[in-house]
Amino acid sequence: MKILSKKIVSLLRKKKFKISFAESCTGGLLSTTITSIAGSSKVFTLGLVTYSNQSKINTLKVPKTIIMKHGAVSYETCFTMVKNLNKISKTNISISITGIAGPEGGNKQKPVGLVYIGVKKGNKTLVKKYLFKKKQRIFIQRAAVNKALKLILSFIK
């Protein structure tokens, strides 16, 4: 992750891009991964940990109806998180992550390891769904951050 993070910070600096994150199940791990790189203060403007439904509603303005209908861990919630984060932060690239890190909290429809990652750059928004098979919490969080870093890289190249 460190090599990817260094590459991302370097590319963002070269392109004079700013980046922001709204994390749920990763609890700030993506922000920590980027801010552990020297020079990240030039590119990283905002990191929010919107862990509860209430913080998604109040801070990121995810409509309560979306969470009630689709759940906090859904394409719709992830999409709204990244779209509204981008409005709040006014950064070139915004990332949202929501998922079920476990070990409890999953069900048949939404098992432990289900994670959605959203990326917004300009008019392009992408939300990807992942299902990580290892059920350890830290593995799921790290795997989600790793996927997010790879998505970021693909958006800034």
130 found inside a domain = yes
**Residue % of the chain over a pLDDT of 70:** 100
Calpha distance 125→156 (Å, rounded):
13
Do 96 and 22 touch, CB atoms closer than 8 A? yes
pLDDT in tens, 8-39: 999 999 999 999 999 999 999 999 999 999 99
- CATH number of the domain enclosing 143: 3.90.950.20
147 found inside a domain = yes
13 found inside a domain = no
- Segment 66-80 shows an average pLDDT of 98
User: Would you state the pLDDT for residue 137?
Assistant: 95
Instruction: Look up the domain containing 104 and give its range.
Output: 2-8+19-156
* Domain count across the chain: 1
- The pTM assigned to this predicted structure is 0.97
- Segment 115-141 shows an average pLDDT of 96
- Listed residue (32, 36, 29, 26) closest to 6, CA to CA: 36
140 found inside a domain = yes
User: Would you state the pLDDT for residue 3?
Assistant: 94
